[in-house]
């Protein structure tokens, strides 16, 4: 009697780049299966019923007559053909096609700049997110991933980026919703990965560097005198570096009465008095205010105070008291 053969279902799902073991159930009523001539053909082919053996390959290895080890290299269909011949020339063949399945990648968002664990970040923060830790379980796909970023801004508007890095400046306070979808070479999409970043409201600027450093200073009537703001800390308009912050200079004779505004010049961070404008014994006060793009009222500050601080420790104006010798 002739032998019989059937191709069994693999124990595991088939995926590109992963070795698979195919098994066959072989039976011959006349002799041991070890004495049968068993030939395996295996390879990618969508029409397994009509595939010619020469169009297929062979096993990567064949540990026994009823087993074939093979590693599929791409998605689609794998055709397995097993031929059996006994010592009397009786012949049997079995064919079966199996699907090589793609699996979706996994999207991973990593915030690379700024490196901060704060619940909120300053306005105008430069944000960078990386998708480089995204993965794909199928060998070969991990080197051909594409990335689709969607950033929803606090006002609901969206913008897209399609590179491994997503970078933007948070110019509006509120919550930024960042979403990443990763796609592999067979157009299998990942589940979206998301992260929310909360951006703080615009904070008042703070004059942090000035010359003279002392707010109560001495000058010489026969010499020129200069007052300089060397640096201002701010989330949007720091100085140096900003062209949108505004310095306002004013002065008054003595230490009471109204201040006379001298100039309002963007980027004018200094005020110069020439020699002999004052005489020995004069006392004046020189004031500089700094405003960023969000112009705030300083009317709640004491007009006679050396500093106006809308937030403790952060001066929007400073006043020098100058005694001339």
Tokens representing 62?
């064949």
In whole angstroms, give the CA distance from residue 317 to residue 264. 14
**Which residues have CB under 8 Å from 288's CB, separation 6+?**
207, 210, 227, 229, 247, 248, 249, 271, 317, 318
Q: Are the beta carbons of 229 and 205 closer than 8 angstroms?
A: no
Q: Is the confidence at residue 269, as pLDDT, over 80?
A: yes
Structure confidence by residue, pLDDT tens digits, 81-129: 999 998 888 999 999 999 998 889 999 999 999 988 889 999 989 999 9
Q: Are the beta carbons of 194 and 149 closer than 8 angstroms?
A: no
Q: Is the confidence at residue 198, as pLDDT, over 80?
A: yes
Q: Which domains does the chain have, with CATH numbers?
A: 4-100 (2.60.40.10), 110-199 (2.60.40.10), 206-324 (2.60.40)
Q: Please report which confidence band the pLDDT of residue 262 belongs to, taking 50, 70 and 90 as the band edges.
A: confident
**Which residues have CB under 8 Å from 297's CB, separation 6+?**
none
pTM over 0.95: no
**Which residues have CB under 8 Å from 299's CB, separation 6+?**
none
Q: Please report which confidence band the pLDDT of residue 142 belongs to, taking 50, 70 and 90 as the band edges.
A: low
Range with lowest mean pLDDT among 126-135, 174-183, 239-248 = 239-248
Q: Tell how many helices (H) and how many strands (E) occur in the chain.
A: 0, 24
Rounded to an integer, the average pLDDT of 293-305 is: 90
């Amino acid at each position: 009697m002739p032998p019989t053969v059937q191709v069994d279902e693999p124990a595991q799902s088939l995926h590109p780049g992963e070795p698979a073991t195919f098994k066959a159930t072989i039976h011959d009523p006349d002799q041991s299966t070890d004495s049968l001539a068993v030939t395996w053909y295996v390879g990618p082919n969508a029409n397994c019923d009509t595939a010619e053996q020469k169009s297929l390959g062979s096993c990567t290895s064949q540990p026994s007559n009823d087993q074939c080890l093979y590693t599929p290299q791409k998605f689609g269909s794998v055709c397995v053909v097993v031929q059996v011949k006994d010592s009397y020339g009786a012949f049997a063949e079995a064919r079966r096609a199996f699907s090589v399945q793609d699996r979706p990648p996994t999207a991973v968002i990593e915030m690379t700049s700024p490196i901060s664990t704060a619940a909120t970040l300053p306005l105008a923060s430069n944000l960078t997110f990386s998708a480089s830790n995204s993965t794909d379980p199928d060998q070969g796909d991990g080197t051909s991933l594409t990335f689709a970023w969607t950033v929803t801004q606090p006002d609901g508007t969206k913008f897209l980026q399609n590179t491994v890095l997503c970078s933007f400046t948070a110019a509006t306070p509120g919550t930024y919703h960042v979403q990443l979808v990763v796609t592999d070479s067979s157009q299998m999409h990942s589940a979206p990965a998301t992260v929310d970043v909360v951006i703080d409201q615009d904070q008042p600027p703070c004059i942090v560097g000035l010359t003279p450093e002392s707010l109560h200073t001495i000058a010489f009537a026969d010499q020129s005198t200069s007052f300089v703001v060397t640096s201002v800390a701010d989330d949007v308009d720091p100085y140096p570096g900003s062209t949108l912050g505004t310095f306002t200079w004013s002065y008054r004779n003595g230490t009471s009465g109204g201040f006379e505004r001298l100039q309002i010049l963007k980027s004018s961070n200094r005020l110069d008095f020439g020699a002999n404008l004052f005489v020995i014994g004069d006392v004046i006060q020189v004031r500089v205010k700094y405003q960023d793009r969000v112009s705030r009222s300083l009317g709640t500050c004491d007009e006679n105070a050396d500093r106006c601080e809308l937030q403790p420790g952060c001066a929007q104006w400073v006043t020098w008291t100058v005694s001339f010798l």
